[in-house]
Amino acid sequence: MKEDFLSARLHDRQMAGNLRSLPDSRDLCDFVSNDYLGLAANTALWTRIKERYGQLGPYPNGGTGSRLLSGNHRLYQEVEDQLKGVFQAEAVLLFNSGYAANQAVVSSVAEKGDTIIYDQLSHVCLKEGAWLSRAQTVAFRHNDPDDLRMRLQQASGRVFVVTETIFSMDGDVAPLAEIVALCEEFGAYLIIDEAHSTGVAGKDGSGLLVEMGLHQRVFARVYTFGKGMGVHGACVAGSLALRDYLVNFGRPFIYTTSLPPHSVLSIGESFLYLAENMQLQQDLQDKINLFKTHYPKYVSDTAIQPVMIGSNEKARAVSLQLQEQGFDVRPILSPTVQRGKERLRVSLHVYNTEKEIMEIADKILKVI
């Protein structure tokens, strides 16, 4: 079977300057990962998980099947009950990833005749969830409540609004209070992805919505654990009716082998560890403030600091220069971001030293 059509598309992408490839594993100073609180590499947490798992075993090495079949081991119930307290929700349902959780919620709750209105810079899994539903889909201008109001006025059927708390490419925060108020005014159901605020904000890592006291006014909240929490998996927090609905209609939940017991236990232990080490949030904020002081060209109050470049070729070149000087910073290229807004995405962590942060800020200013 000829595969010329694959090679042709890859060639076109290479000619456009945005061909992707898997990066090499290199011993560089990490300014690229989403391990904001350093929990993924935290040896104390690793030891805690290992010891607790050894005390509880033996468990299967894998999930063994869908949770609706053989994969619903008792650790699921324990950790979901724990997370209900963290996220102050009536019910929580664990998923294998944030991608699966977002896609399950958005694709299943809306039907033909409904409308899904999503922020134009929402993660692709949220957009794909909207496209997989039979609802009408429309984007509103990024973080623009006035444009959202106009879209709400034009919408028909049940209306679902989809956005994020912290956006992964610009590190900006949605105008959450205004969006919540608009959804209440128009009777719309609000779905919010807290991927990049899970762990780094809120009591015990509960995210921005809990921190702002808005969580009870949101239809569905999605939290992911592979970023700030340093482990793996995700959950949807909301009502008991929403949980039961997703068990029955959320295809990425129904037709997926469950997380292995070790992964589920790791989620619970990560949140327990963070609750005992809440100074990590302030440590991260101190590093963010330090970077902003030494790189004043863009103001982001989060661990995500975009450095705008403007072309795929230059973004790649600047990234390579920084890597050659020992700093792991990767380019974000179109079509991942809009053409002309190619950039470096600098991720800050509690384990980046003050010297490293000042050095990378200085070097970026010299090469861009």
pLDDT tens-digit map of 284-318: 999 999 999 999 887 799 999 999 998 888 999 99
Catalytic residue, candidates 34, 102, 197, 312 = 34
Q: What is the pLDDT of residues 168-186, one digit of tens each?
A: 999 999 999 999 999 999 9
In single-letter form, the type of residue at position 344 comes to L
Active site residue 227: yes
Active site residue 300: no
Catalytic residue, candidates 97, 108, 168, 347 = 168
Active site residue 164: yes
Locus of tokens 């509690």: 350
Q: What pLDDT, on a 0 to 100 scale, did the predictor assign at position 25?
A: 66
Per domain, the residue ranges of the chain are 23-40+278-367, 59-276
Active site residue 34: yes
Q: What pLDDT, on a 0 to 100 scale, did the predictor assign at position 334?
A: 85
Question: Which CATH code is given to the segment(s) 59-276?
Answer: 3.40.640.10
Active site residue 262: no
How do the pLDDT tens digits run along the chain, 368 residues long?
A: 788 888 889 988 888 777 778 877 678 999 999 999 999 999 999 999 999 999 987 888 999 999 999 999 999 999 999 999 999 999 999 999 999 999 999 999 999 999 999 999 999 999 999 999 999 999 999 999 999 999 999 999 999 999 999 999 999 999 999 999 999 999 999 999 999 999 999 999 999 999 999 999 999 999 999 999 999 999 999 999 999 999 999 999 999 999 999 999 999 999 999 999 999 999 999 999 999 999 988 779 999 999 999 888 899 999 999 999 999 999 988 888 888 889 999 999 999 999 999 999 999 998 87
In single-letter form, the type of residue at position 1 comes to M
Catalytic residue, candidates 96, 108, 143, 196 = 196
Question: Which CATH code is given to the segment(s) 23-40+278-367?
Answer: 3.90.1150.10
| Three-state DSSP state, 115 | strand
Asked if domains 23-40+278-367 and 59-276 share a fold, the reply is no
Sign, Cα dihedral of 92, 97, 98, 101: negative
β-pairing verdict for 234-238 and 91-95:
antiparallel
* pTM of the complete model: 0.94
Catalytic residue, candidates 42, 108, 123, 319 = 123
Strand ranges of the sheet holding 343-347, from the earlier edge strand across to the other edge:
304-308, 343-347, 330-332
The answer to whether the CB of 269 falls within 8 A of the CB of 52 is yes
Q: What pLDDT, on a 0 to 100 scale, did the predictor assign at position 19?
A: 79
Q: What pLDDT, on a 0 to 100 scale, did the predictor assign at position 18?
A: 73
Catalytic residue, candidates 114, 193, 194, 328 = 193
Name the packing angle between helices 74-87 and 261-276 (round to 10°): 30
State the distance between the two ends of the chain, measured CA to CA, in whole angstroms: 46
Catalytic residue, candidates 30, 35, 164, 172 = 164
d(CA 126, CA 202): 23
d(CA 117, CA 310): 29
